[in-house]
Amino acid sequence: MSRRIIPVADVSAIPDYSGPAHAPRGELTDTLARPLRDLRISVTDRCNFRCVYCMPRAVFDKDYPFLPHGALLTFEEIERLARVFVDHGVEKIRLTGGEPLLRKNLEFLIERLAALKTADGRPLDITLTTNGSLLARKARSLKDAGLTRVTVSLDALDDSLFRHMNDADFAVADVLKGIEAAHDAGLAPIKVNMVVKRGTNDTEIVPMARHFKGTDAVLRFIEYMDVGTSNGWNMTEVLPSADVVARIAAHFPLVPLEAHSAAETAQRWGYADGGGEIGVISSVTRAFCGSCTRARLSTEGKLYLCLFASSGHDLRAVVRNGASDAEIATAIARIWHTRTDRYSQLRGSASATPDASEPRRVEMSYIGG
Protein backbone atom coordinates (compact mmCIF):
# COMPACT_ATOMS: atom_id res chain seq x y z
CA MET A 1 0.00 0.00 0.00
CA SER A 2 1.56 3.30 -0.98
CA ARG A 3 0.72 6.54 0.77
CA ARG A 4 1.85 10.01 0.03
CA ILE A 5 3.75 11.48 2.96
CA ILE A 6 3.44 15.20 3.57
CA PRO A 7 6.63 16.39 5.21
CA VAL A 8 6.37 18.56 8.29
CA ALA A 9 8.17 21.38 6.49
CA ASP A 10 5.25 21.77 4.06
CA VAL A 11 3.08 23.67 6.48
CA SER A 12 3.43 26.87 8.41
CA ALA A 13 2.45 27.59 11.95
CA ILE A 14 -1.05 27.26 13.33
CA PRO A 15 -3.43 28.75 14.49
CA ASP A 16 -3.88 30.29 11.04
CA TYR A 17 -6.18 27.53 9.74
CA SER A 18 -7.02 29.31 6.51
CA GLY A 19 -4.86 27.99 3.73
CA PRO A 20 -4.50 27.51 0.02
CA ALA A 21 -7.52 26.14 -1.80
CA HIS A 22 -5.42 23.14 -2.88
CA ALA A 23 -5.15 21.48 0.49
CA PRO A 24 -3.01 18.42 0.99
CA ARG A 25 -4.43 14.93 1.06
CA GLY A 26 -2.61 11.84 2.08
CA GLU A 27 -0.84 10.73 5.20
CA LEU A 28 0.06 13.25 7.89
CA THR A 29 2.78 12.88 10.46
CA ASP A 30 3.27 14.91 13.62
CA THR A 31 6.53 16.23 15.11
CA LEU A 32 7.27 12.76 16.53
CA ALA A 33 6.62 11.07 13.15
CA ARG A 34 3.31 9.60 14.35
CA PRO A 35 0.73 9.22 11.58
CA LEU A 36 -2.94 10.11 12.00
CA ARG A 37 -4.85 6.82 11.85
CA ASP A 38 -7.63 6.82 14.45
CA LEU A 39 -10.39 9.32 14.99
CA ARG A 40 -12.51 9.24 18.12
CA ILE A 41 -15.71 11.19 17.78
CA SER A 42 -17.69 12.19 20.83
CA VAL A 43 -21.35 12.45 19.85
CA THR A 44 -22.70 13.66 23.19
CA ASP A 45 -21.32 14.97 26.47
CA ARG A 46 -24.29 13.54 28.36
CA CYS A 47 -24.56 10.19 30.07
CA ASN A 48 -27.15 8.17 31.98
CA PHE A 49 -24.41 6.86 34.32
CA ARG A 50 -22.40 8.80 36.87
CA CYS A 51 -19.34 6.56 37.12
CA VAL A 52 -17.38 7.65 40.15
CA TYR A 53 -14.10 7.90 38.19
CA CYS A 54 -15.57 9.77 35.22
CA MET A 55 -18.66 11.87 36.01
CA PRO A 56 -18.88 12.11 39.80
CA ARG A 57 -22.41 13.14 40.74
CA ALA A 58 -21.18 15.95 42.96
CA VAL A 59 -19.77 17.70 39.88
CA PHE A 60 -22.06 16.45 37.10
CA ASP A 61 -25.27 17.42 38.86
CA LYS A 62 -28.47 19.04 37.59
CA ASP A 63 -26.70 22.40 37.31
CA TYR A 64 -23.80 21.11 35.21
CA PRO A 65 -23.54 23.13 31.98
CA PHE A 66 -23.92 20.38 29.39
CA LEU A 67 -23.71 21.57 25.79
CA PRO A 68 -26.89 22.95 24.24
CA HIS A 69 -28.17 21.08 21.19
CA GLY A 70 -27.11 23.81 18.74
CA ALA A 71 -23.49 23.49 19.87
CA LEU A 72 -23.28 19.85 18.81
CA LEU A 73 -21.84 18.96 15.44
CA THR A 74 -24.65 17.76 13.21
CA PHE A 75 -24.39 14.37 11.53
CA GLU A 76 -23.70 16.17 8.22
CA GLU A 77 -20.85 18.10 9.82
CA ILE A 78 -19.41 14.98 11.45
CA GLU A 79 -19.55 13.07 8.17
CA ARG A 80 -17.89 15.91 6.29
CA LEU A 81 -15.07 16.20 8.81
CA ALA A 82 -14.68 12.42 8.95
CA ARG A 83 -14.34 12.29 5.16
CA VAL A 84 -11.49 14.79 5.28
CA PHE A 85 -9.82 12.88 8.13
CA VAL A 86 -10.09 9.68 6.10
CA ASP A 87 -8.44 11.45 3.16
CA HIS A 88 -5.62 12.19 5.59
CA GLY A 89 -5.09 8.53 6.48
CA VAL A 90 -7.66 7.74 9.17
CA GLU A 91 -8.71 4.09 8.97
CA LYS A 92 -10.62 3.63 12.19
CA ILE A 93 -13.41 5.69 13.71
CA ARG A 94 -14.64 5.18 17.25
CA LEU A 95 -17.89 6.79 18.37
CA THR A 96 -17.88 7.71 22.02
CA GLY A 97 -19.09 10.26 24.54
CA GLY A 98 -20.65 10.62 27.16
CA GLU A 99 -22.87 7.73 26.32
CA PRO A 100 -23.00 7.58 22.50
CA LEU A 101 -26.20 5.53 22.39
CA LEU A 102 -28.03 8.48 23.95
CA ARG A 103 -27.53 10.46 20.72
CA LYS A 104 -30.80 10.27 18.84
CA ASN A 105 -30.75 8.36 15.53
CA LEU A 106 -27.08 7.47 15.88
CA GLU A 107 -27.68 4.77 13.28
CA PHE A 108 -28.06 7.49 10.62
CA LEU A 109 -24.56 8.73 11.39
CA ILE A 110 -23.16 5.20 11.33
CA GLU A 111 -24.71 4.63 7.90
CA ARG A 112 -22.99 7.74 6.58
CA LEU A 113 -19.64 6.82 8.10
CA ALA A 114 -19.90 3.24 6.87
CA ALA A 115 -20.12 4.52 3.30
CA LEU A 116 -16.66 6.15 3.54
CA LYS A 117 -13.63 4.31 2.18
CA THR A 118 -9.94 4.54 3.01
CA ALA A 119 -7.55 6.05 0.46
CA ASP A 120 -6.99 2.59 -1.04
CA GLY A 121 -10.68 1.72 -1.17
CA ARG A 122 -11.14 -0.36 1.98
CA PRO A 123 -14.11 0.07 4.33
CA LEU A 124 -13.37 1.83 7.60
CA ASP A 125 -13.29 0.06 10.93
CA ILE A 126 -16.24 1.70 12.69
CA THR A 127 -16.64 0.96 16.33
CA LEU A 128 -18.29 2.36 19.41
CA THR A 129 -17.64 2.43 23.15
CA THR A 130 -20.75 2.16 25.29
CA ASN A 131 -21.77 1.58 28.88
CA GLY A 132 -24.09 -1.10 27.50
CA SER A 133 -27.27 0.25 29.06
CA LEU A 134 -29.09 0.61 25.73
CA LEU A 135 -27.22 -2.06 23.83
CA ALA A 136 -29.73 -4.89 24.17
CA ARG A 137 -32.26 -2.65 22.44
CA LYS A 138 -29.93 -1.25 19.79
CA ALA A 139 -27.34 -3.90 18.87
CA ARG A 140 -29.21 -5.13 15.80
CA SER A 141 -29.93 -1.70 14.32
CA LEU A 142 -26.34 -0.61 14.95
CA LYS A 143 -25.05 -3.65 13.10
CA ASP A 144 -27.51 -3.11 10.26
CA ALA A 145 -26.36 0.50 9.98
CA GLY A 146 -22.78 -0.66 9.41
CA LEU A 147 -21.15 -0.68 12.84
CA THR A 148 -18.23 -3.13 12.72
CA ARG A 149 -17.84 -3.96 16.39
CA VAL A 150 -18.39 -2.67 19.89
CA THR A 151 -16.55 -2.10 23.17
CA VAL A 152 -18.63 -2.36 26.34
CA SER A 153 -17.53 -0.93 29.67
CA LEU A 154 -18.19 -3.06 32.74
CA ASP A 155 -16.37 -2.50 36.02
CA ALA A 156 -17.72 -5.30 38.21
CA LEU A 157 -19.84 -8.43 38.23
CA ASP A 158 -20.92 -7.88 41.80
CA ASP A 159 -24.24 -6.11 41.37
CA SER A 160 -24.13 -3.83 44.38
CA LEU A 161 -20.55 -2.78 43.63
CA PHE A 162 -21.45 -2.11 39.99
CA ARG A 163 -24.45 -0.03 41.03
CA HIS A 164 -22.18 1.92 43.36
CA MET A 165 -19.62 2.51 40.60
CA ASN A 166 -22.09 3.64 37.95
CA ASP A 167 -23.98 5.60 40.63
CA ALA A 168 -27.15 5.30 38.57
CA ASP A 169 -28.43 2.09 40.13
CA PHE A 170 -27.93 0.22 36.87
CA ALA A 171 -27.80 -3.58 37.12
CA VAL A 172 -24.96 -5.80 35.87
CA ALA A 173 -27.51 -8.20 34.36
CA ASP A 174 -28.69 -5.56 31.91
CA VAL A 175 -25.16 -4.85 30.66
CA LEU A 176 -24.59 -8.58 30.25
CA LYS A 177 -27.80 -8.74 28.18
CA GLY A 178 -26.38 -5.95 26.01
CA ILE A 179 -23.15 -7.88 25.48
CA GLU A 180 -25.15 -10.96 24.52
CA ALA A 181 -27.27 -8.95 22.07
CA ALA A 182 -24.11 -7.52 20.51
CA HIS A 183 -22.75 -11.03 20.15
CA ASP A 184 -25.99 -12.26 18.56
CA ALA A 185 -26.02 -9.31 16.16
CA GLY A 186 -22.48 -10.15 14.98
CA LEU A 187 -20.77 -7.09 16.46
CA ALA A 188 -17.63 -9.12 17.07
CA PRO A 189 -15.02 -9.24 18.40
CA ILE A 190 -16.55 -7.64 21.49
CA LYS A 191 -14.18 -5.96 23.90
CA VAL A 192 -15.13 -5.45 27.52
CA ASN A 193 -13.34 -2.62 29.33
CA MET A 194 -12.90 -2.67 33.10
CA VAL A 195 -11.35 0.36 34.78
CA VAL A 196 -9.52 -0.89 37.85
CA LYS A 197 -9.58 1.36 40.87
CA ARG A 198 -7.47 -0.02 43.71
CA GLY A 199 -9.54 -0.37 46.86
CA THR A 200 -12.82 -0.05 44.94
CA ASN A 201 -13.17 -2.85 42.39
CA ASP A 202 -9.84 -4.69 42.30
CA THR A 203 -11.56 -7.60 44.07
CA GLU A 204 -13.49 -8.06 40.80
CA ILE A 205 -10.41 -8.72 38.62
CA VAL A 206 -10.41 -12.49 39.01
CA PRO A 207 -14.23 -12.93 38.91
CA MET A 208 -14.36 -10.84 35.72
CA ALA A 209 -11.53 -12.88 34.18
CA ARG A 210 -13.29 -16.11 35.13
CA HIS A 211 -16.60 -14.90 33.68
CA PHE A 212 -15.25 -13.92 30.27
CA LYS A 213 -12.64 -16.69 29.95
CA GLY A 214 -13.59 -19.05 27.16
CA THR A 215 -16.05 -16.60 25.59
CA ASP A 216 -15.33 -14.62 22.46
CA ALA A 217 -15.32 -11.35 24.43
CA VAL A 218 -11.87 -9.93 25.15
CA LEU A 219 -11.67 -8.44 28.63
CA ARG A 220 -9.33 -5.48 28.99
CA PHE A 221 -8.19 -3.97 32.26
CA ILE A 222 -7.57 -0.22 32.16
CA GLU A 223 -5.43 1.58 34.70
CA TYR A 224 -7.40 4.33 36.40
CA MET A 225 -6.25 7.57 34.79
CA ASP A 226 -5.90 11.19 35.83
CA VAL A 227 -8.15 12.44 33.03
CA GLY A 228 -9.98 15.73 33.60
CA THR A 229 -10.00 17.45 36.94
CA SER A 230 -13.16 16.28 38.63
CA ASN A 231 -12.56 12.66 39.67
CA GLY A 232 -10.17 13.36 42.57
CA TRP A 233 -7.60 11.03 41.02
CA ASN A 234 -4.79 9.79 43.22
CA MET A 235 -1.84 7.57 42.29
CA THR A 236 -2.51 5.36 45.31
CA GLU A 237 -5.75 4.23 43.63
CA VAL A 238 -3.95 3.04 40.50
CA LEU A 239 -3.34 -0.71 40.41
CA PRO A 240 -0.48 -1.33 37.94
CA SER A 241 -1.33 -3.70 35.09
CA ALA A 242 1.56 -5.93 36.16
CA ASP A 243 -0.37 -6.63 39.39
CA VAL A 244 -3.54 -7.33 37.43
CA VAL A 245 -1.70 -9.87 35.30
CA ALA A 246 -0.11 -11.46 38.39
CA ARG A 247 -3.46 -11.79 40.16
CA ILE A 248 -5.06 -13.49 37.18
CA ALA A 249 -2.04 -15.68 36.49
CA ALA A 250 -2.22 -17.00 40.05
CA HIS A 251 -5.53 -18.61 39.07
CA PHE A 252 -5.20 -19.08 35.32
CA PRO A 253 -1.65 -19.26 33.85
CA LEU A 254 -1.04 -16.63 31.17
CA VAL A 255 1.36 -16.36 28.26
CA PRO A 256 2.31 -13.09 26.52
CA LEU A 257 0.90 -12.61 23.02
CA GLU A 258 2.22 -10.53 20.13
CA ALA A 259 0.56 -7.16 19.52
CA HIS A 260 -1.80 -7.03 16.54
CA SER A 261 -0.20 -3.74 15.49
CA ALA A 262 2.36 -1.24 16.72
CA ALA A 263 -0.39 1.26 17.60
CA GLU A 264 -2.30 -1.19 19.82
CA THR A 265 -2.92 0.31 23.26
CA ALA A 266 -3.45 -3.01 25.07
CA GLN A 267 -0.77 -5.56 25.86
CA ARG A 268 -2.20 -8.99 25.12
CA TRP A 269 -2.01 -12.06 27.34
CA GLY A 270 -3.40 -15.48 26.41
CA TYR A 271 -4.71 -18.15 28.76
CA ALA A 272 -2.18 -20.99 28.63
CA ASP A 273 -5.03 -23.52 28.37
CA GLY A 274 -6.37 -21.86 25.21
CA GLY A 275 -9.30 -20.14 26.95
CA GLY A 276 -8.93 -16.90 24.99
CA GLU A 277 -7.10 -13.74 25.94
CA ILE A 278 -7.13 -10.61 28.06
CA GLY A 279 -5.59 -7.19 27.50
CA VAL A 280 -4.08 -4.65 29.87
CA ILE A 281 -4.01 -0.95 29.09
CA SER A 282 -1.26 0.58 31.17
CA SER A 283 -1.88 4.24 30.49
CA VAL A 284 -0.21 5.25 33.75
CA THR A 285 2.62 2.77 34.32
CA ARG A 286 3.67 2.05 30.74
CA ALA A 287 2.95 4.97 28.46
CA PHE A 288 2.31 4.29 24.79
CA CYS A 289 2.56 7.85 23.48
CA GLY A 290 5.29 6.87 21.01
CA SER A 291 2.73 5.01 18.90
CA CYS A 292 -0.29 7.23 19.57
CA THR A 293 -2.05 7.82 16.26
CA ARG A 294 -5.32 9.06 17.80
CA ALA A 295 -7.11 12.37 17.31
CA ARG A 296 -10.27 13.23 19.21
CA LEU A 297 -13.16 15.31 17.97
CA SER A 298 -15.26 16.68 20.81
CA THR A 299 -19.05 16.89 20.76
CA GLU A 300 -18.88 20.54 19.73
CA GLY A 301 -16.24 19.98 17.07
CA LYS A 302 -12.99 20.79 18.81
CA LEU A 303 -10.03 18.71 17.76
CA TYR A 304 -7.92 17.43 20.65
CA LEU A 305 -4.53 15.86 20.07
CA CYS A 306 -4.29 14.12 23.43
CA LEU A 307 -6.64 12.73 26.08
CA PHE A 308 -4.93 14.99 28.58
CA ALA A 309 -5.06 18.19 26.57
CA SER A 310 -6.51 21.32 28.09
CA SER A 311 -7.53 22.97 24.81
CA GLY A 312 -8.69 21.94 21.39
CA HIS A 313 -8.75 23.38 17.87
CA ASP A 314 -12.15 24.68 16.81
CA LEU A 315 -13.02 22.80 13.62
CA ARG A 316 -16.72 23.61 14.03
CA ALA A 317 -15.85 27.28 13.54
CA VAL A 318 -13.87 26.38 10.42
CA VAL A 319 -16.83 24.39 9.05
CA ARG A 320 -19.52 26.89 10.02
CA ASN A 321 -17.49 29.80 8.61
CA GLY A 322 -17.98 28.28 5.17
CA ALA A 323 -14.59 26.66 4.64
CA SER A 324 -14.22 24.39 1.63
CA ASP A 325 -13.17 20.75 2.08
CA ALA A 326 -9.69 21.76 0.92
CA GLU A 327 -9.47 24.44 3.60
CA ILE A 328 -10.65 22.03 6.28
CA ALA A 329 -8.02 19.55 5.11
CA THR A 330 -5.37 22.24 5.34
CA ALA A 331 -6.45 23.16 8.84
CA ILE A 332 -6.27 19.54 10.00
CA ALA A 333 -2.87 19.08 8.35
CA ARG A 334 -1.48 22.14 10.06
CA ILE A 335 -2.79 21.10 13.43
CA TRP A 336 -1.50 17.51 13.19
CA HIS A 337 1.90 18.57 11.85
CA THR A 338 2.53 20.65 14.99
CA ARG A 339 1.45 17.90 17.44
CA THR A 340 3.96 17.32 20.23
CA ASP A 341 1.67 15.68 22.85
CA ARG A 342 3.01 12.79 24.94
CA TYR A 343 1.45 13.44 28.30
CA SER A 344 1.64 9.91 29.74
CA GLN A 345 5.28 9.56 28.83
CA LEU A 346 6.14 12.80 30.60
CA ARG A 347 3.94 11.97 33.58
CA GLY A 348 5.78 8.67 33.91
CA SER A 349 9.01 10.48 34.71
CA ALA A 350 7.50 12.97 37.14
CA SER A 351 5.13 13.04 40.05
CA ALA A 352 1.83 11.76 38.72
CA THR A 353 -0.36 13.84 40.97
CA PRO A 354 -1.95 16.69 39.00
CA ASP A 355 -0.69 20.11 39.93
CA ALA A 356 -3.39 22.68 40.81
CA SER A 357 -1.52 25.34 38.84
CA GLU A 358 -1.76 23.33 35.58
CA PRO A 359 -4.35 24.40 32.99
CA ARG A 360 -7.69 22.63 33.45
CA ARG A 361 -7.68 19.38 31.53
CA VAL A 362 -10.67 18.43 29.46
CA GLU A 363 -13.10 15.90 30.96
CA MET A 364 -13.28 12.33 29.63
CA SER A 365 -17.07 12.55 29.22
CA TYR A 366 -16.63 15.56 26.91
CA ILE A 367 -13.78 14.30 24.78
CA GLY A 368 -14.60 10.59 24.76
CA GLY A 369 -12.46 7.68 25.95
Binding site for ligand SAM (CB under 6 A): 47, 53-54, 96-97, 99, 129-131, 153, 193, 195, 222, 224-225, 227, 231, 364-365, 368-369
51 appears as a binding residue in the annotation: yes
What does the buried/exposed string (b/e) look like for 3-25 if buried means 16 or more CB atoms within 10 Å of the residue's CB? eeebeeeebeeeeebebeeebbb
Is the backbone of residue 98 left (phi > 0), alpha (psi -120 to 50) or beta?
left
Residue nearer to ligand SAM on the CB measure, 118 or 229: 229
Residue nearer to ligand SAM on the CB measure, 127 or 153: 153
Residue at 148: amino acid letter: T
Confirm or reject binding of residue 342 to ligand SF4 (CB under 6 A): yes
Is the Cα torsion angle 28, 94, 75, 148 positive or negative in sign?
positive
C-beta of 154: minimal distance to ligand SF4 in Å? 10
C-beta of 344: minimal distance to ligand SF4 in Å? 4
C-beta of 193: minimal distance to ligand SF4 in Å? 9
Q: Which of 223, 300, 314, 341 binds ligand SF4 (CB under 6 A)?
A: 341
129 appears as a binding residue in the annotation: yes
DSSP 3-state of 5? strand
Measured CA to CA, the distance from residue 264 to residue 291 in angstroms comes to: 8
Residue 204, φ and ψ in degrees, nearest 5: -90, -5
C-beta of 284: minimal distance to ligand SF4 in Å? 10
Measured CA to CA, the distance from residue 142 to residue 110 in angstroms comes to: 8
Q: Which of residues 96-115 bind ligand SF4 (CB under 6 A)?
A: 97-99
The DSSP code for 228 is: S
Measured CA to CA, the distance from residue 16 to residue 147 in angstroms comes to: 35
Range list of H helices, the chain = 75-87, 106-114, 135-145, 159-166, 172-185, 205-212, 241-249, 315-320, 325-337, 343-348, 364-367
171 appears as a binding residue in the annotation: no
350 to 369: interface string for ligand SF4, x by CB under 6 A:
---------------x----
Q: Which of 11, 23, 36, 54 binds ligand SF4 (CB under 6 A)?
A: 54
Residue 344 touches which member of ligand SF4, ligand SAM, none, C-beta under 5-8 Å by kind: ligand SF4
Q: Which residues are documented as binding site for S-adenosyl-L-methionine?
A: 53, 98, 153, 225
Binding interface with ligand SF4 (CB under 6 A)? 47, 49-51, 54-55, 97-99, 131, 153, 288-289, 292, 294, 306-308, 341-344, 365
Q: Which residues are documented as binding site?
A: 40, 47, 51, 53-54, 94, 98, 129, 153, 191, 225, 289, 292, 294-296, 306
